[in-house]
A and B are shown apart, each in its own frame.
Chain A
Amino acid sequence: MKILVCISNVPDTTSKINFTQDNTKFDTTGVQFVINPNDEFGLTRAMWFKEKQGATVHVATVGGPQVEPTMRKALAIGADEGIRINAEPTDGFFVAQQLAEVIKNGEYDLVIGGRESIDYNGGMVPGIIAAILNINFVNTCIGLEIEGEKVTAMREIDGGKEKLESTLPLIIGGQKGLVEESDLRIPNMRGIMMARKKQINVLEPAEALHATSDKTFDKPAQKGPVKLVDADNVGELIELLHNEAKVI
């Protein structure tokens, strides 16, 4: 089985979010970039397939040279080869088209993406790829088993889960649940050393559509201080929620 894991290079979850250049650009000053958490669950599931059932695992990222440390981490975790499409990932549609090109040429059986990236929260890349390549697609995937061509997948739905059956080739939008968090791997020294020797193929982007463009950014309005209610007087909280906030 040949697996491609699509990886988004995102600000670490604790990052302070600021914008520069008249609020038109995300300020990367002091920001640590990591593998998008949803993709990390997918990458770990790919490692499971590799180790338990035999598979080749490639990782692909759309981004400039600055994303290579994140790719090296994926290689240190155990991916065999990296593919970097050398372009700014300005919009989901553009990214999906670039990845679709790689998938078409690489003849992957299974493509693993994340439910969404935690920076722009678009959540559209796997779906667009599925539509472009006309391959089966399971979103918010929280469980994946493969026997030959046969796929059994679990997906999260609002208020529960749904079990699906499908066939390869398949693309998923994955998330926590694909593997447990305790199964996520921290690269060890051997992995890091081996990753240095692994190849990152740099491809130039294909002609593609920029379907959307971010014009400006802003931050949520500053909130006033919390109104404290005495623990001995919870009735007052109900009063406030009813008369002031009008939510009950």
Chain B
Amino acid sequence: MSILVYTEAENGKFKKNALEVASYAHKVAQEMGTEVTALSFNVSDNSALGNYGVSKVLKVENEQLKTFHAKAYASVIAEAVKKEGAKLVILSSSTDSKYLGGLLSGMLKAGYIPNAVSAPDSVEPMVVKRMAFSNKGFAHTEINTETKIIGVSNNAFGLIENATDLQEEAFSPATEEKDFATKSVNVDKVAGEVTIADADIVVSAGRGLKGPENWGMIEELADVLGAATACSKPVSDMGWRSHGEHVGQTGKPVASNLYIAIGISGAIQHLAGVSASKVKVVINTDPEAPFFKAADYGIVGDAFEVVPELIEKLKEFKAQNA
């Protein structure tokens, strides 16, 4: 009957979203009168899960599953669901979890709600509020199947500590050759950089920056804040920044705690991708820029003057608050 949680890890350590999903699952488990079982892949120290309401962890230690592989991971999760008799699977809404979500839904014949933005409205029937219309609306959706899957949006629920007595159990599911028919041959990822999906703070800049040579100050600002960098669509279209940084309706969604938009007009397609962010700051020369309507804080001013000043002031602030 329990709830099964898929916990994402990187280099043997849980990602923040794993703990957020655990927090979410604990809340649902309380309402359902059940407990949370987590599934971890190649993580030796699982104790963090015990701080976020997980009572049992199934530990998969398998060389073949060292790096993410959608089909194989989905098969392992499906097997864990059977073993535990889980009626609900909860995962995050990261790129990898969304890759898994559809596959699992098909394998388990389970209704799947991705992009859940809050704890279920009700658990019986299971009705969950989710993002729709690229953040221009929300749907309250019921899952009609016996087995259910929920994908929690990043930063929507937050981390909630709940100390539990964590039991650990080794889990060695059988993997089949056909699960690996799609092979990873190369991963190209900038090590050590905060990604847009994981970041608490995102510093984003648009066409107002005039050219790629001016991104130094954006990177410096991000560096001071421990933030990820992002950009508007024309910026990546012109090749000033990589496609992976383009946020918006047709780019990446951002659900950070703080989103700083510099020299971005705030076109509807851009706003759609960032409206899940909690606090938005805009810096723009044009007081009529639509972004000011969507922002919480704003500075009407020239990025080339405001940003260096902001970097200096932030450094002072950090020195004082260190």
- The 8 A CB mask of B254-290 against A (1 = contact, 0 = none) is 0001100000000011001001001101100000000
Is there an interface contact between A160 and B297, defined as CB atoms closer than 8 Å? no
Q: How far is the CA of A167 from the CA of B281 in the complex (A)?
A: 46
Q: Once the chains are docked, how many angstroms separate the CA of A159 from the CA of B196?
A: 7
Contact with A along B218-254 (1 / 0, CB 8 A): 0000000100000000000100000110100111000
- For residue A57, CB closer than 8 A to chain B, the reply is no
Chain B hits for A44, CB < 8 A: none
Q: Most A CB atoms within 10 A — which of B201, B297, B321? A: B297
The reply to whether A218 and B115 contact each other, CB–CB distance below 8 Å, is no
Find the A residue at minimum CB distance from B121. Answer: A215
Which residues from B are CB-within-8-Å of A220? 135-138, 275
- Contact, CB under 8 Å: A140 / B145: no
12 contacts between A and B (CB under 8 A): A124-B112, A131-B102, A156-B243, A158-B195, A159-B195, A163-B185, A176-B243, A214-B141, A214-B142, A217-B138, A226-B293, A242-B321
Of B22-30, B32-40, B302-310, the stretch lying at the interface with chain A is B302-310
Determine the chain B residues whose CB is within 8 A of the CB of A209 once the complex forms: 109, 144-145
Most chain B CB inside 10 Å of its own CB: which residue of A162, A177, A230: A162
A91–B140 CA distance with the chains assembled, in angstroms: 13
B188 interface contact, C-beta 8 A: yes
Task: Please measure, in the bound complex, the distance between the C-alpha atom of A189 and the C-alpha atom of B68, giving whole angstroms.
Answer: 47
Q: A124-B101, A212-B113 known; A234 and B296 CB under 8 Å?
A: no
Q: Which of B137, B193, B305 is close to A231, meaning CB atoms less than 8 Å apart? A: B305
Interface residues of A in 121-147 (CB under 8 A from B): 121-132, 136-140, 142
- Contact, CB under 8 Å: A211 / B139: no
Q: Please give the distance in Å from B283's CB to the nearest CB on chain A.
A: 9
A7 → chain B closest CB, angstroms: 16
Please measure, in the bound complex, the distance between the C-alpha atom of A245 and the C-alpha atom of B201, giving whole angstroms: 13
Establish whether residues A118 and B243, one from each chain, have CB atoms under 8 Å apart when the complex forms: no
Q: How far is the CA of A125 from the CA of B114 in the complex (A)?
A: 12
Interface residues of A in 194-248 (CB under 8 A from B): 209-220, 223, 226-231, 234-235, 237-238, 240-242, 245, 247-248
Are B139 and A214 within 8 A (Cβ)? yes
**Residues of chain B from 93 to 121 with CB closer than 8 A to chain A in the complex:** 94-96, 98-107, 109-115
A93, A142, A175: the one contacting B111 at CB < 8 Å is A93
- Asked whether B299 lies within 8 Å of A229 as measured between CB atoms, the reply is yes
- CB A178 to nearest CB in B, in angstroms, measures 11
Expressed in whole angstroms, the Cα–Cα distance for A95 and B269 within the complex equals: 26
Considering the complex, give the chain B residue whose CB is closest to the CB of A224. Answer: B296
Question: Which B residues lie within 8 Å of A66 (CB)?
Answer: none
Tell me the bound Cα distance from A132 to B189 in angstroms.
Answer: 32
B295 at the interface (CB under 8 A from A): yes
Q: Which residues of A contact B185 (CB under 8 A)?
A: 163-165
Q: Is the CB of A139 within 8 A of B99?
A: yes
Q: Which of B107, B132, B296, B310 contacts A131 (CB 8 A)?
A: B107
Enumerate chain B residues within 8 angstroms of A217, measured Cβ to Cβ.
132, 137-140
- The reply to whether A126 and B109 contact each other, CB–CB distance below 8 Å, is no
Q: Given A131-B107, A231-B305, are A118 and B196 neighbors across the interface (CB < 8 Å)?
A: no
Contacts A238-B313, A247-B258 given; does A131 touch B182 at CB 8 Å: no
B83-100 CB mask vs A (1 if < 8 Å, else 0) is 000000000001110111
Does residue A119 face the partner (Cβ distance < 8 Å to B)?
Answer: yes
Given contacts A156-B244, A229-B297, A247-B257, contact A212 B292 (CB under 8 A): no
